[in-house]
Structure 1
Amino acid sequence: MNQISSSFVSAGSAAASPRQRPAEVVAPLTFITPQAQKPVFYSQAFTGGKAQYRFAVEEHPVPIADMRRLVEAPSLDREGFALREAPSWVRNLHDDDAVEGAYFREIAALLTREFGASRVAIFDATRRSDSGQGARNRDGNRGPASRIHVDYTARSGPQRARDVLGSQEVARLEAEGARLVQVNVWRPIRGPVRRAPLALADARSVKPEHLVATDQIFPDRVGEIYHLAYDPAQRWYYAPEMTVDEVLLIKGWDSLEDGRAQYTPHSAFQLPEQDPGAPPRESIEVRTIVVIE
């Protein structure tokens, strides 16, 4: 098995740009507008073309701080996300076989060390690009996700765990007091990222009433995600100029309800002085269920 090491990437690491950067940028993020009926999102797989949204959105300019400047590393259990240095041996992340083989094994090893996990189940990988055409995936091309969202909810997180691990296995794990965590591992395919980086909310600043459950319609099932309503008290971070040797770990759901972060809203955004001539952002995100017994 290929192995990757991981560590917190600080402001003084090789990943940080030598030129001076502001401590924060102000950029518009796209929030859902609260409505009386439950919002619905029809996926590309369902429509056969562009995704369709049955809800309104609104943009708000927000300050987005440089997480590399934090004195204390962001934490999955505190803020809901973490930045790690984790070089990969896989050179071609556009190769489906390499991703689903060696790269998945690397990601499983990374999360096993991160959590002291007994098992890491990987169930999906998605490439994205802001090139205009999107990035190729088995189910079609994908661009950056531009609406603030969380991939899972209090209902769909446990259901996804049952889908991936099996209902009987999840019942056994629950009976034995195991913890289940849905984690996305986001990596640039090319770097440094100078277009469409990710903004991530500090989970501690997100009030439960601002997480808006939204039905996500697929050809064979109905999922559920959270969109986020705007609150000026929300705190936002990003990692400037991420390299291919770095990953963001993003928590989508945690079975523990003890005050730690459970859901991490996130979205791509446009930098205020983004160079349209910079190389397109290309990234890959791997979705996992982490089992901690």
Structure 2
Amino acid sequence: MPYDAFEDPVKVKQVYCPELAQAIRQQLSVKHVRVIDYSVRRREASFPISTGREFQHAQPASMAHIDFTTEEAVRMITTLYGSAASQLLSQGWAIINAWRPLKHAIKDWPLAVCDKRSFTPDLDGMASDVVYRTWLSENVLIHHNPNQKWFFYPGQTTEQLLLFRGPDSHQGLKAACPHAAFRAEREQDTPLRESIDCRAIVFYSMVDTLPVEVGTLYGLRDHFPS
């Protein structure tokens, strides 16, 4: 999708998100993907210093976190599919994050991802409320632990889609990769970061089609109403 189209929420929802769902299906060899929401982030020059006014766009998320607790993921699936959710839950699911640059190779506030094998949920994580204007969710904040191993993709381009896991039905938070943006050394003329991140639910059910959605999720970061 052209760069300018990411200013249009309708185009992101109707064009980019279905294309992303197809890419996830192909990459993970799964049948069903439900994109939950998206966030376009365009760093302002003053970030992370507050100017006292609200930023026009979402900014890099510099606090290490996992987007959803296992319980929050189950609540979302139950809200979406009502009584039909039990079958989907029993046959397996996973949260998938998808992240990529919008315009330039990322050299400004890149995204770091933690090797899940170096992360101990009970010791390193803490459930936390995420409160927006009209809705709330529950994520996991990550404490520092010297055993954690963090990595990033230097110079990631718009053609390179980064997929990483959240909690799933098999391992819960042990399947999840904590992540955070960080300030990297940059040249003075390095373009400010512009990126899009999406969150999706992957279902391992072999049903031909997903059940009809009977519920509406929360405001979804104020960008992607259901």
TM-score where L is the length of structure 2: 0.79
Q: Considering only CA atoms, is the larger Rg found in Structure 1 or Structure 2?
A: 1
Q: 1:241 to 1:154 in 2, by over 3 A?
A: same
- Whether 2:58 is the aligned partner of 1:142: answer yes
Q: What amino acid sits opposite 2:151 in the alignment?
A: Y
Identity percentage of aligned residues: 27
| 2-structure distance, mates of 1:242, 1:270 | 15
Shift of 1:90: 4.2
- Whether 2:84 is the aligned partner of 1:169: answer yes
Task: Say whether the 8 Å CA contact 2:43–2:57 is kept in structure 1.
Answer: no
Aligned to 2:203: 291
Shift of 1:285: 0.8
Shift of 1:173: 1.7
| 2-structure distance, mates of 1:250, 1:239 | 13
186, 190, 207: which one aligns with 1:278? 190
Compare the two structures and name the one with the higher helix fraction: 2
| 2-structure distance, mates of 1:170, 1:140 | 37
Q: Larger deviation: 206-215 or 217-226?
A: 217-226
Q: What amino acid sits opposite 1:170 in the alignment?
A: A
> What is the RMSD computed on CA atoms of the aligned residues?
2.2
| 2-structure distance, mates of 1:106, 1:124 | 14
Q: 1:168 to 1:276 in 2, by over 3 A?
A: farther
Aligned to 2:152: 238
Aligned to 2:224: none
Which structure has more RCO (C-alpha within 8 Å, separation ≥ 6)?
2
Aligned to 1:267: 180
The gaps in structure 2 that reach 5 residues or longer are: 48-54, 206-226
Q: 1:275 to 1:161 in 2, by over 3 A?
A: farther
3-state SS of paired residue (2:26)? helix
TM-score where L is the length of structure 1: 0.62
Shift of 1:179: 1.4
Residue deviations 1:207-246 (CA, integer Å, cap 9, x gap): 1221111122234443211111111110010000011111
